Amino acid sequence: MPRAFERGLIPQDMTKIQKIAFLAVLFCIILPVSGAFGLTNILNVRHWAAPDYTRVVIDTSDDAQFKVTTTAQKISIDFKKTAFPKTIPHQFILNKPGISKVLVMPLPHRAVRVELWLAGNVETTVFNLKKFLDKPARVVIDIRLPDMEKKESEERKQFKVSKKDEVIVVIDAGHGGGDPGAVGRRGTREKTVVLKIARRLRNILNKKEGYQAFLTRNGDYYVSFKKRLKIAREYGADLFISIHADGCKDRRAKGSSVYCLSTRRASSEAARLLARRENLSDIIAGSPNGQCNDESDPITLNMVQTETINLSKTIGSIILKDIKGVNRLKFHKVQAAPFMVLKLPEIPSILVETAYISNPKEERLLRSPQFQAKIARAIASSIFEFLPVSQTASTTRIAKKNAEKLPSVSTPRSPKSSIYIVKRGDTLEKIARRHNTTISALLRLNNMRLKDRIYVRQKLRVSVARQSGGPIYIVKRGDTLKKIARRHNTTISILLRLNNLRLRDRIYVRQKLRVPVARQSGGPVYIVKRGDTLEKIARRHNTTISTLLRLNNMRLKDRIYARQRLKIPG
């Protein structure tokens, strides 16, 4: 009582009976309010559906106390000390994969029950997530369709086995579902615009003879880092491209950029911050694992990853060159950072930040179908340059197409091979070097994968080197295909054709490579300068691109580079 007087809660001029009555009324008023403050509120019920799973998310004001009861027909989640939500519907008719509806109903003793009615053969997981950034506390229910998961996985693996000469590109539209990515001032969501660009890119590639493109997601749902990488591997991708839209607090920031994986540190502070933000996607979207933990065998990483990163930088440089014609560049060189989504040691992988969604001008561009199409065409053009379809593969496909008209056409023979018996201490790299071939060629001949072990006395097929009168070049430490091509005044594409290589194949010290015979010619030679194109050179020397291609034994898709010597008509 004295404390109540000190706090001024009870007027001083009251009689004793009035004071007792006043305190009783005050107690009755305060008690329910104090009880209400101890309750958890259900704020929202959200859901996303993928082909093989549906996710239901229940947002709560605080970490909720709940009990889960699961039967074949439904999941019941009983929330304790929870206020009945009057602001949200009591019934959600979903009819999504694995679930038909969600019911929300009050229970006695300040409790709420949420029922999820299941459909078909499903597996369920229920877990809670604490508040993170701007995300409230959440209870997440994942409803997976194992039969559908298995079917999709088998279809991807079957495609990988059946594919022959097609170039396979896996396109990853960043974010999705509960992770919207960056959001512009007009409410434009990164997850929405990058999916539109990814679909356009897929359609362009699939229309081109010899190319097959697939998406990691084709709707508004989240795919964990681990599954994105799994999809790329199961398809046997030749290239993995993750499409994003940048964002930051400074709305003046603008420009496109390209990133590859760094196994150590980021190439710039901006790259480090971007990687840190992008790597939170699993946590923001509520992946049960929280992070991609897909560690590979360290020997495999040591053998392959450096070369893969170099290839990623090559395609990244080409994309920067092509995107420059569509949007200004933030960085003129490929940046590197430890992105979770690029951890594919055997597949060249890049992340393209198409524009700044936080910049008002570039947000308008990203919303524009015309700009989306231009970005997609620029990336597609870079892919065609980086991964050209071989002439042999093109001829084979044409022959198959016209099989009814030309029944006598025979398919090209596979390269001749011999048998090698594996010895103690052998590795694929040593065997490839000994037989002047590549690790990739050995894997193809023996229907193996890079992670497969070899053992003593195992029989391996190795390709028999073809006889040729052309000159041989011995690869030196620090050589790349680009350096060798420049040294012999040729192109990377010609080196690949002469040596039956693909762009992703590694070269190594002391490997023998065939190089084109230098033609004797008394005609004039032009030294290519930075920024030159065949069109500019042809115009400067009053000739045509076709004439330049014939004189230099080139094809239109072959790249030219600074200090390259080109023959020009006299």
Return per-residue pLDDT of the chain as tens, 570 residues.
444 444 444 555 566 666 565 555 555 554 444 344 578 889 999 998 999 989 999 999 988 889 999 988 999 999 999 887 788 888 999 999 999 999 999 999 889 999 999 998 999 999 988 888 778 899 999 999 999 999 999 999 888 877 767 889 999 999 898 888 899 999 999 999 999 999 999 999 999 888 999 999 999 998 888 899 999 999 989 999 999 998 888 889 999 999 988 766 655 566 666 666 666 665 666 666 544 444 444 433 443 466 678 788 889 999 999 999 999 999 999 988 878 877 887 788 999 999 999 999 999 999 999 999 999 999 999 998 888 775 334 433 433 444 333 333 333 334 556 788 888 878 877 787 777 777 777 877 888 766 667 888 888 888 765 444 568 888 888 788 878 887 777 777 778 878 877 776 777 777 888 887 655 445 688 888 887 888 788 888 878 777 788 787 777 667 787 778 888 886
The answer to whether 197 and 68 are in contact (CB under 8 A) is no
CATH class in words for 40-146: mainly beta
Residue 287's pLDDT is what? 66
Assigned fold of 163-386: Aminopeptidase (3.40.630)
Residue 528's pLDDT is what? 85
Helix (H, G, I), strand (E, B) or coil at 322: helix
- Tell me the C-alpha to C-alpha distance, in Å, between residue 492 and each of 231, 288, 515: 30, 45, 10
Question: Cα separation of 241 and 376, whole Å?
Answer: 12
Dig out the tokens for 91 from the structure: 């019934």
Residue 215's pLDDT is what? 96
Residue 37's pLDDT is what? 55
Question: Cα separation of 232 and 185, whole Å?
Answer: 34
Nearest to 548 by CA among 559, 563, 537, 561: 537
Residue 306's pLDDT is what? 67
Q: CATH 3.10.350.10 residue ranges in the chain?
A: 519-570
CATH number for 519-570: choose from 3.65.10.10, 3.90.1720.10, 3.10.350.10, 3.30.365.10.
3.10.350.10
Q: Report CA dihedral (397, 402, 403, 408) to the nearest 10 degrees.
A: -100
- The full length of the chain comes to 570
Nearest to 441 by CA among 451, 429, 453, 452: 429
Residue 289's pLDDT is what? 53
Using a 10 angstrom Cβ sphere, with 0-12 exposed, 13-18 middle and 19 or more buried, the burial of residue 198 is: buried
Residue 16's pLDDT is what? 60
Question: Cα separation of 410 and 396, whole Å?
Answer: 9
Q: Residues 509-546, buried b or exposed e (16+ Cβ, 10 A)?
A: eebebbbbeeeeeeeeeeebeeebebeebbeeeeeeee
Q: CATH 3.40.630.40 residue ranges in the chain?
A: 163-386
